[in-house]
Structure 1
Amino acid sequence: MSWQQRISRRLEERAAAQAWRCRSALQPLDGCRIRFEGRDYCNFASNDYLGLSRHPAVIEAWRQGASLYGVGSGGSGHVTGYTPAHQRLEEALAAWLGYPRALLFISGFAANQAVIGALLDKEDRIVADRLSHASLLEAASLSPAALRRFVHNDLPSLAGLLDKPLGGQQLVVTEGIFSMDGDAAPLADIAALTRDRGGWLMVDDAHGIGVLGDEGRGSCHRAGIRPDILVVTFGKAFGVSGAAVLCSESLADYLVQFARHLIYSTAMPAAQAQALHAALAQIRAAEGLRAALQRNIRRFRHGAGLLPWQLAESQTAIQPLIVGDNARALALARQLRARGFWVTAIRPPAVPAGTARLRITLTAAHSETDIDELLEALRDGESQ
C-alpha cells in the first residue's frame, strides 16, 4: 500500500465513523461572543473560564512587554530566550503555589512530554488514570517505562497496580480536573496511596488552576496536597497560553539539564511571560469571578438535569452532556449552531466509544440569560 493509499484509507475511515475533525476561523468579540462567517454566536466551548484573555491589564502587560522585549524570544531559554520577565514569572508561580522552583514551557503538552520523557527509565513504571490527557498517555507510551492504567478515579485499581513487584521507581499520573468529563480526581487519597508505596505523584491541573482553591491555587491546594510534580497550564483560566512545571530544586535542575522540550524549543516570548504575570495577579484577586462561575455552573446543572441526556458528574466549568451516538451528537451541535450557540461535539477517539458528547464549558462571562437560552435550545433539540 502506497503512502497516498494509506492516507486516503484512514481519512475515509474517519469520515465514515462520523469522527471527522474540522477547524473554524473564529473572530472573538468579547468574553463569550464570537463571530463566524458573518454571524455572532454565544460561545460555550471556550476554556477561558475567567475571561482573562481580554482583560485590559493582561493586554496592556503584553503590549508593554512587546515594546520592551520585542515579540519573539530569539532562541531557546538555554541560549538567549530566558529574560528577567521569565525569571519573575517563574519565581512568582513558585511562591504562589508553594514550591521551590517553577519552569516555563511553551505548552502543557510539551511540559507533560518533557517531564515524563526525561524522568523515566526502563526499570520504572507509570501508573496513570485511564482518562488522563492524551499528552500524558502518549508521553508514557513513548517512554522506556512500563505504562499501566488504572480504572478512572478507582483507588483499589490504583493500589493493585502499585503493589505489583517492580525493580525501579513508580510515577502516578492523573489530571486534577479531567478535561473531557469535568470531574475531580480524589487527589488526597491518590497522594496517600502513592506516598505509602514510595512513588511520586504528578498532577496535571490544567482545568483546576485559577478556578479552584484559595486564590485559585487549584485542585491540589483544595485537596490539601502538594504533589511531587505539578503541571499548570495558561491556556484556560489564565487566558493566555503556555505552561509551568512546579517541583523541587533538584528536579528543576535535572529538567534544565535533560528535558529536551525545554532545551531545544524556542522559549515563549518575554512579552507573553509579562502578560502571564499580570494574569496571575488578576487570578489571585478574582474571588468575584470565581463566585460568578460557580453560580453559572449551578444554574446550568439545575436546568440540564431535566434533559434526557446523561449529565456528567461534574461540579466544574466543564459540563458534558453524554449523547452516545456520534451522528446524534453532531446533529445536536448543528441545531444549537442554528440557534446561535457555539458548542462542540466531542467524539471518539477523544472520548471512549459510545460516549460522544456535547462538551459545554461555562465561564464567568456568561450571563443568566445566556445559560437559560442555551437550556431552552437544548430542550427544543430534544424534540427534533
Structure 2
Amino acid sequence: MDIVGRCASFTRSHQAKSLGLYPFYAAFSGRGPGAACTVGGQDVIVCGSGDYLGLATDPRVTEAAAEAARRYGTGPSGSRLLNGNLDLHERLEDELAQFFGKPAALVFATGYQAGLGAVAGLCRTGDHVLVDQEAHASLVDAARLSRAKVHWFPHNDTDRLAAELKALPGNGGRMVVVDGVYSMRGDLCPLPDLVRVCHEHRATLVVDDAHGAGVLAGGHGTCARYGLTDDVPVISLAFSKAFASVGGAVLGDRTVIEYLRHYARPLVFSAGASPANTAAALQALRIVRDEPWRGRAALDNARHMRHALSALGYRVPHGDTPLVPVDIGDELRTAIAWKLLLDRGVHVNAVMPPAAPACLRASFCASHTREQLDAVTTAFADIREPLAALALPETGLAASHTSHLRLPGAGEPAETWLAGIRHLLP
C-alpha cells in the first residue's frame, strides 16, 4: 500500500464522530467570564485549559499584543539569526533570566521548539540521552533527533536511572531529560533525587517546566519549588500555559545559550516568535512577578476539585499542581464521560492512547469561580449513574498505547452497548 493510500484505512475518527463520541478538535468561538467559553454554540465551563493564571483575556496582555502588532507588524519576517531578531525578543529574554534566576535565556517561536532546541541542539553523535518514559512528546522527538544514543527509564524511577547511567561506557556526554510537572498525571518529578543522581554520574539535567513555570513557587517553577534552580543546568518552558501566549524559552548559563543561538536548528531555521506573542508573554511575565497570588489561586482550585471528585468516588491521584486526571476506565468509557459532561456544560480533555492511558484530564485555573467549580462538581455527580448503568464490555477495550478510541471488533456484542450509548447520547 502506498503512503498516501494507507491513510484511507484510518477510520476510527469517523466511527467516533458517527456516535457523537469524538472528543478532539472542538472549535471554540468565544470566551466569556472566568473560565467560560463557547463551543458549537454552547456556553461551557472549560476545565482543560493551560491558561492557569487566567491571563489569556487579561486586558493588559491583549493590549500589549495589539500594540506590538501595530508597532512591529504581524511577524518578524525571518529567522532570528538573520533579520528576524527583535529588541522585543531580547527584552523578554533578559526578564525571563532575571525572574527565573538563570544567567541567560533564549526565546523560541513555540514551546515544542524550545525543548527540541535544548536537547537536540546540545547533544551529538556519541552522546547518551536518558529520557523519562512519560516525558513530553517534544522531548521524545528531541532525543530521537539529537543523533545521540537514546535510553528510556521508568517514570520517576531514579534508582533505575542511576543503574542505567552507571552501565554506560565512559566516553560521550550524558543528558537526563524530564518534565518538571508531567502533563498527563499532573505529578512532579523527584528533582532532589534527579539532581543527586546526575551529579554522581556527571550527567547534564534538562527540566522542561511547561506546566510548572508561572504557577509553582510564586511563579518561579518546579526547580524553585525544591530550591534547586542553581543545580539544574538547563530549563525549558512554554508560553502557552501560564504566560498566555505561544512560544517558549531555554534558560541556562551564558555559554549554553550562546551555543544554542548558533546550533539550535529550530531557532536558526525558523522564523522568530511573532511580535504579538512575544509582547503577550512579556506582559504576562510581569504580571506573574507582580501578582503571585494567581498561581496560588490555581493550586487552591485544583485542590478543591481533587477533594470534591474523590468524595464522589472518582479515582483521582494525589497531587499539588493545576492538573487533575480522572480515571474513568477504558477509551470508550472515557469518551462517553466526556460527552455526558459536555452535554451538561462542562468541557474537559479526553486523553487517549498513545498519548497516555485513557482518562479525563481536567485542569483548574485562577479564573475559575467557586460557582463554576460547584457546577463542575454537580456535572460529575450527575454522570455517575448513567455511566454505571452502561453495561460495556471490558475485554478488548482497555487502554493501549497502539490505538486511538478502539471500538469493539466484529466478534464483540456491539448491539447492546451501542443501543445504550445512543439512548444516552442523542
2:373 aligned with 1:359, yes or no? no
Distance 1:250 1:231 in 2: 16
Distance 2:248 2:292 in 1: 22
Q: Is the 8 A contact 1:181 1:320 kept in 2?
A: yes
Alignment of 1:333-344 (within 5 A): 333-344=338-349
Write the letter of the residue equivalent to 2:37. Answer: I
> What's the counterpart of residue 8 of structure 1?
8
2:95 aligned with 1:92, yes or no? yes
2:74 aligned with 1:78, yes or no? no
Name the SS for the 2:85 alignment partner: coil
Structure 1 residue 111 displacement after superposition? 1.2
Name the SS for the 1:162 alignment partner: helix
Q: Is the 8 A contact 1:188 1:224 kept in 2?
A: no
Percent identity over the alignment is 34
Going from structure 1 to structure 2, the CA distance change for 1:21 and 1:4 (only over 3 Å counts) comes to farther
Write the letter of the residue equivalent to 2:161. Answer: L
Write the letter of the residue equivalent to 2:49. Answer: S
> What's the counterpart of residue 176 of structure 1?
180
> What's the counterpart of residue 167 of structure 2?
164
Q: Is the 8 A contact 1:182 1:313 kept in 2?
A: no
Q: Is the 8 A contact 2:105 2:251 kept in 1?
A: yes
- What are the superposed Cα offsets for residues 248-301 of structure 1, whole Å, 9 maximum, x if unpaired? 111112111111111110111223222221111101122222232222122111
- What are the superposed Cα offsets for residues 146-175 of structure 1, whole Å, 9 maximum, x if unpaired? 111111111211111111132211101000
Alignment of 1:209-288 (within 5 A): 209-213=213-217, 215-226=218-229, 227-288=232-293
> What's the counterpart of residue 56 of structure 1?
59
> What's the counterpart of residue 126 of structure 2?
123
Write the letter of the residue equivalent to 2:100. Answer: L
- Where in structure 2 are there 5+ consecutive unaligned residues? 387-426
Structure 1 residue 45 displacement after superposition? 1.3
Q: Is the 8 A contact 1:122 1:145 kept in 2?
A: yes
> What's the counterpart of residue 199 of structure 2?
195
- Where in structure 1 are there 5+ consecutive unaligned residues? none
> What's the counterpart of residue 378 of structure 2?
376
Distance 1:187 1:220 in 2: 7
Structure 1 residue 15 displacement after superposition? 6.1
Going from structure 1 to structure 2, the CA distance change for 1:311 and 1:100 (only over 3 Å counts) comes to same
Write the letter of the residue equivalent to 2:11. Answer: E
Distance 1:369 1:317 in 2: 18
Write the letter of the residue equivalent to 2:277. Answer: Q
Write the letter of the residue equivalent to 1:186. Answer: P
Structure 1 residue 21 displacement after superposition? 6.5
Write the letter of the residue equivalent to 1:325. Answer: D
Write the letter of the residue equivalent to 2:42. Answer: R
> What's the counterpart of residue 311 of structure 2?
306
Going from structure 1 to structure 2, the CA distance change for 1:252 and 1:4 (only over 3 Å counts) comes to closer
Distance 2:225 2:2 in 1: 53
Q: Is the 8 A contact 2:110 2:273 kept in 1?
A: no
Name the SS for the 1:52 alignment partner: coil
Structure 1 residue 193 displacement after superposition? 0.9
Distance 2:22 2:128 in 1: 34
Structure 1 residue 28 displacement after superposition? 3.0
TM-score, length-normalised on structure 2?
0.85
The structure whose Rg is larger is 2
Structure 1 residue 24 displacement after superposition? 2.0
Greater mean alpha carbon deviation, residues 362-371 or residues 142-151? 142-151
Distance 1:318 1:20 in 2: 22
Q: Is the 8 A contact 2:329 2:358 kept in 1?
A: yes
Name the SS for the 2:328 alignment partner: strand
Name the SS for the 2:138 alignment partner: helix
Structure 1 residue 16 displacement after superposition? 6.9
Greater mean alpha carbon deviation, residues 112-121 or residues 125-134? 112-121
- The correspondence for 1:108, drawn from 101, 106, 111, is 111
Distance 2:349 2:278 in 1: 30
2:323 aligned with 1:318, yes or no? yes
Distance 2:128 2:13 in 1: 33
Distance 1:13 1:125 in 2: 37
Q: How many residue pairs were aligned?
A: 379
Q: Is the 8 A contact 1:57 1:278 kept in 2?
A: yes
Distance 2:22 2:125 in 1: 36
Write the letter of the residue equivalent to 2:221. Answer: G
Write the letter of the residue equivalent to 2:310. Answer: G
Distance 2:306 2:190 in 1: 21
Q: Is the 8 A contact 2:53 2:294 kept in 1?
A: yes
Distance 1:371 1:116 in 2: 39
Going from structure 1 to structure 2, the CA distance change for 1:35 and 1:14 (only over 3 Å counts) comes to closer
Name the SS for the 1:383 alignment partner: helix
TM-score, length-normalised on structure 1?
0.94
Structure 1 residue 176 displacement after superposition? 0.3
Distance 1:264 1:294 in 2: 38
Structure 1 residue 17 displacement after superposition? 9.2
Name the SS for the 1:298 alignment partner: helix
